[in-house]
Amino acid sequence: MKSELRIRIGVIGVGHLGDFHLKQLKTISNILISGIYDNDINRAEEISKKYNVQNHITIKSLLANSDAISIVTPTSTHFSIAINALKQGCHVFIEKPITDNIYDANTLIKKAKELNKIIQVGHIERFNPAFNYIKNLNLKPQFIESHRLSQFNSRGNDVPVLLDLMIHDLDLILSLVKSNIKNIRANGIKIVSSTIDMANARIEFENKCIANLTASRISQKNMRKMRLFQEEEYITIDFQTASIEEYKVCDMQPNIKNSDKIIEINGEHKKQIIYKKPKIKKYDALKIELEHFIHSINNFSKPETDGESATRALSVALEIHNIINI
Ligand code: NAD
């Protein structure tokens, strides 16, 4: 029988990120951890001991004892695990990307609707403290530049860099720009793996906003930055440090602190550019993301990063892949 009181949540796939899922789930008070499953028996044993959680020998046993499941396995396995979990009556949190193709993503969405289950996808940057600040500014960006660069790592190479890294920025940009895509130009290269390791895409929206995205997994340094330009405003977001810098053109203000005032513009009307580095309240984005999932289940509300929005990001990533055509 499924529990009505505290959500019983399990984790499937306890590799690099699954470990963090458990670490954060352990800190959430209104849930019960039903256990874990990983097809690497040694890893499952290790994580079961580390967090003192039950190690289920089969997925079936974990699903039968859970109301919700976090799926933190390689992308190619997301669909088969998620459809099984939905059919067994579980709400599903699926790490990004939702799946590796649109047909499977739509099948999951349809099945979840049919069974009244929640799908949330792990587009964690939407819960980044810095992006959370941006969301409340009601921006109308006209040009966006994003860089998501990562040092080479053998994990995640089962999919092109578009589905592994660029998809984060695609999801963020699609949530910010309320317009349809008009045109995409893209280029990409395979360098070390058998799929695209480095790519650049230029997306033109119907409202004339342009987004220029670069993603690479063969960088010397890690970087997760986005710059947004709109009339009289320029904002930079550093997702790694969860920090923001804002530059805003304003009418002359007499009481502005010297440190905030960058430059005076002498035109017909005197203007100045104000620099601001807002104090961002730091928190663990994964914890907030998982709490959001639990909240959506308890209230049967639509998660911010639901199956539909994740599928839209996936479809743009796959379109970029087709354009690159290597
Ligand atoms: P990983 O290789 O470290 O871990 C995957 C784990 O899944 C391994 O322990 C493996 O044994 C297990 N596994 C594989 N197939 C399985 C199956 N059929 N059933 C049960 N267990 C299975 O990978 P990772 O880096 O933890 O990535 C996992 C997922 O998380 C991927 O989808 C990846 O895209 C996503 N991810 C998201 C972010 C993010 O920022 N949101 C960051 C890293 C990874």
Q: Is there an atom of ligand 1 within 6 Å of 18 CB?
A: yes
Q: What is the pLDDT of residue 188?
A: 97
- The preferred substitution site among 41, 95, 127, 165 for testing ligand 1, maximizing ligand atoms within 8 Å of CB, is 95
Q: Ligand 1, atom 43: nearest CA belongs to which residue? A: 17
Q: What is the pLDDT of residue 1?
A: 47
Q: What is the pLDDT of residue 263?
A: 67
What dihedral angle (degrees, nearest 10) is formed by the CA atoms of 138, 144, 147, 148?
50
Cα–Cα nearest to 221, from 235, 237, 240: 240
- The preferred substitution site among 14, 57, 73, 217 for testing ligand 1, maximizing ligand atoms within 8 Å of CB, is 73
Q: How far is the CA of 250 from the centre of ligand 1 (A)?
A: 47
Cα–Cα nearest to 94, from 105, 109, 78: 78
The verdict on pTM exceeding 0.75 is: yes
C-alpha 269: how far from chain center: 42
Rounded to an integer, what distance in angstroms lies between the CA atom of residue 217 and that of residue 12? 26
Q: How far is the CA of 225 from the centre of ligand 1 (A)?
A: 24
Q: How far is the CA of 152 from the centre of ligand 1 (A)?
A: 16
Q: What is the pLDDT of residue 262?
A: 64
Q: What is the pLDDT of residue 156?
A: 72
Q: How far is the CA of 155 from the centre of ligand 1 (A)?
A: 8
Q: What is the pLDDT of residue 272?
A: 84
Q: What is the pLDDT of residue 270?
A: 76
Rounded to an integer, what distance in angstroms lies between the CA atom of residue 19 and that of residue 16? 6
- Strand intervals (E) in the chain: 7-12, 31-37, 68-71, 91-95, 119-122, 143-149, 181-189, 198-205, 210-216, 223-230, 233-238, 243-251, 261-266, 270-276
Q: Is there an atom of ligand 1 within 6 Å of 43 CB?
A: yes
Q: Is there an atom of ligand 1 within 6 Å of 13 CB?
A: yes
Q: Is there an atom of ligand 1 within 6 Å of 75 CB?
A: yes
Q: Is there an atom of ligand 1 within 6 Å of 40 CB?
A: yes
User: Which atom of ligand 1 is the closest one to the Cα of 124?
Assistant: 41
Q: How far is the CA of 96 from the centre of ligand 1 (A)?
A: 10
Q: What is the pLDDT of residue 157?
A: 80
Q: What is the pLDDT of residue 258?
A: 58
Q: Is there an atom of ligand 1 within 6 Å of 95 CB?
A: yes
Q: How far is the CA of 184 from the centre of ligand 1 (A)?
A: 30
User: Which atom of ligand 1 is the closest one to the Cα of 122?
Assistant: 41
Q: How far is the CA of 73 from the centre of ligand 1 (A)?
A: 3
User: Which atom of ligand 1 is the closest one to the Cα of 13?
Assistant: 7
Q: What is the pLDDT of residue 69?
A: 98
Rounded to an integer, what distance in angstroms lies between the CA atom of residue 193 and that of residue 217? 10
Tens of pLDDT, residue by residue, the chain (326 residues) = 454 579 999 999 999 999 999 999 999 999 999 999 999 999 999 999 999 999 999 999 999 999 999 999 999 999 999 999 999 999 999 999 999 999 999 999 999 999 999 999 999 999 999 999 999 898 999 999 999 999 988 887 889 999 999 999 999 999 999 999 999 999 999 999 999 999 999 999 999 999 999 999 999 999 999 999 999 999 999 999 999 999 998 887 776 665 566 666 766 677 888 899 999 999 999 999 999 999 999 999 999 999 999 999 999 999 999 999 87
Q: Is there an atom of ligand 1 within 6 Å of 155 CB?
A: yes
